[in-house]
Structure 1
Amino acid sequence: MGIDLQLHDGRPHWPGRRSKRGPTLVRQSHEHGEAPARLIAELPVNTSGKLWTVDPYDDTVFNEQEAEAALGEIPDLLDRCSDEARAAAVRDLAAFLADCATTPGSCPVFVGD
Structure 2
Amino acid sequence: MDPYGDTLFNEQAAQVACQEIAALTLRCADDQRKAALLDLAELLEACETTPGSDVLLMGD
Fold in common (TM above 0.5):
yes
What's the % identity of the aligned pairs?
53
State whether structure 2 residue 38 is matched by structure 1 residue 112. Answer: no
Partner of 2:11: 64
Residue of structure 2 aligned with 1:83, choices 30, 34, 37: 30
SS in 2 for 1:72: helix
Q: For residue 92 of structure 1, report the CA deviation from its aligned partner.
A: 0.3
Higher-RCO chain (CA-CA 8 Å, sequence separation at least 6):
2
TM-score by length of structure 2 reads 0.81
Count residues with an aligned counterpart.
57
Structure with the higher helix share, 1 or 2 = 2
Output the CA distance in 2 between the equivalents of 1:66 and 1:59. Answer: 15
Structural mapping, 1:47-58, within 5 Å: 58=5
Unaligned runs of 5+ in 1: 1-56
Unaligned runs of 5+ in 2: none
Residue of structure 2 aligned with 1:100, choices 47, 55, 60: 47
The aligned amino acid for 1:94 is: A
TM-score by length of structure 1 reads 0.46
The aligned amino acid for 1:106 is: S
Q: For residue 83 of structure 1, report the CA deviation from its aligned partner.
A: 1.2
Question: Displaced runs of 4+ in structure 1, greater than 2 A?
Answer: none
Q: For residue 66 of structure 1, report the CA deviation from its aligned partner.
A: 0.8
